[in-house]
Amino acid sequence: MARLQDKVIIITGAAQGMGETHARLCMAEGAKVVLTDINSDKGDALAKELGDSALFIKHDVTSEEDWTQVAKETQEKFGRIDVLVNNAGITTHKSILDTSVEAYRKILEINQVSVFLGMKAVIPTMKAAKQGSIINISSINGLVGGAIGYTDSKFAVRGMTKAAALECAPHGIRVNSIHPGVIATPMIMQGDTKDAVEAFAKTIPMRRVAQPEEVSGMVLFLASDDSSYSTGSEFVVDGGLTAQ
C-alpha cells in the first residue's frame, strides 16, 4: 500500500521548484494534493497534468482570508485536511545596511507570518479529526547564521514549530520542521550561480549539494504514519554541513 494512500495534503509554493517536487512524490504515494501558489499559470498547468487527485488554488500566503479559503476549498473538494506543508518562501542575500524596512517586513511576512496563518487555518480541522501533520520548511539558516531577514524568518519558523508542537500534541497533531541545506533547484543551477554552488559543494562533508527529491523524501516521511511519534523536531537535510 502507498505510504500516503488517500491522505489530503496542502502544499504551499507548489507550482515549481521544491514544492512541485514534494507534490509529485506525495501523489506518487497515493495522496490527494492541494497545490497553492501565487503563480496561477504554472499552478494550473501542474494540477491539470497531475489529474483529478490534484487541486490548484491561487494563494497569497500572507493573506488570512486566502488561507481561510484554501482550507474551505480543500474540505469541499476532498473532505478533510491531513497534512499541511508550509513550503512557500523567498530568500535574500543583502546586508543589514542594504536592507530596507519594507524589504525586511516582506520576507518576514512571506517566510514567517505565512506559517502562523497556515497552522491557524488547518488546526481546527485537524483537532476535530484528532490527527494531522504540519511540516514547516525552514532552512539550515534556522540553525546557523546567514543573511539578515532570511535567517531571522527561518529561526522563527523553527521556534514556532516547537511552540505549535507542544500545543497540538494532546490533539494528535504532529508539527515538525525541515532544514534543507543547498538544493540543486533549476533557479540556482545555471550561469555564475551554478559555478558558485559547485565550488561551495566542496566544503560540504558529502561533497555535493542535495537534489530536491532528497528533501521531498523527508516530507514524505513526516507526512506518513512512519513518523507517528515525531513532533517538535528538526530534520536536517544538508549533507553534514551544520555538523562541522
- Whether 127 has a pLDDT exceeding 80, the answer reads yes
Give the integer Cα–Cα distance in Å for 129 and 241: 38
- Provide the pLDDT for residue 187: 67
Output the pTM of the full model: 0.96
Is residue 220 assigned to a domain? yes
Give the domain CATH number at 131. Answer: 3.40.50.720
Is residue 59 assigned to a domain? yes
Note whether 66 and 88 are within 8 A (CB): no
SS3 content of the chain, % helix, strand, coil (to 5): 50, 15, 35
| pLDDT tens-place string over residues 67-126 | 999 999 999 999 999 999 999 999 988 999 999 999 999 999 999 999 999 999 999 999
- Residue 113's domain comprises 8-183+212-235
Question: What residues act catalytically?
Answer: 150
* Grid coordinates given for 174: 504532529
* Grid coordinates given for 167: 500545543
Paired residues of 134 in beta bridges? 84, 175
Q: Across residues 16-24, what is the average pLDDT? A: 97
Number of folded domains in the chain? Answer: 1
Give the integer Cα–Cα distance in Å for 47 and 39: 12
Is residue 206 assigned to a domain? no
8-state DSSP, 2: -
Mean pLDDT taken over the chain: 97
| pLDDT tens-place string over residues 129-141 | 999 999 999 999 9
Is residue 198 assigned to a domain? no
Give the integer Cα–Cα distance in Å for 190 and 197: 9
- Whether 1 has a pLDDT exceeding 90, the answer reads no
Note whether 36 and 12 are within 8 A (CB): yes
